[in-house]
Amino acid sequence: MSVDQATVRRIAHLARIAVSPEEVPHLQQELNAILSFVEELSAVDVEGVEPMTSVVPMKMVWRKDAVTDHAGADVVVANAPVSEDNFFVVPKVVE
């Protein structure tokens, strides 16, 4: 897959990045190099390789899923800038 100059301009527009006409050919080469590298990765045989979340083997630490006594609503909203009847008061964001 290769990227043409129109596609580079479209990607820049979508990303809201100002790109001068002089920069477009260089960015085109860069994007094509990235895409060719990704295509090379698809040729790697990963059959039998288990998915992993980290390159370092780590054991997941589990805690007991138990109900604990909470401090109470008045303590939770004590640090709120504005609260009313133990609820957080926030500005309206939807008309």
For residues 77-87, average pLDDT:
90
For residues 15-38, average pLDDT:
95
Angle of CA points 36, 40, 44, to nearest 5°: 165
Assigned domain for 57 exists: no
Assigned domain for 24 exists: yes
Assigned domain for 67 exists: no
For residues 25-46, average pLDDT:
93
**10: containing domain:** 5-42
The total domain count for the chain is 1
For residues 61-71, average pLDDT:
83
Which CATH number belongs to the domain containing residue 12 in this structure? 1.10.20
The C-alpha atoms of residue 75 and residue 86 are separated, in whole angstroms, by 9
Taking 80 as the threshold, does the pLDDT of residue 7 lie above it? yes
Assigned domain for 60 exists: no
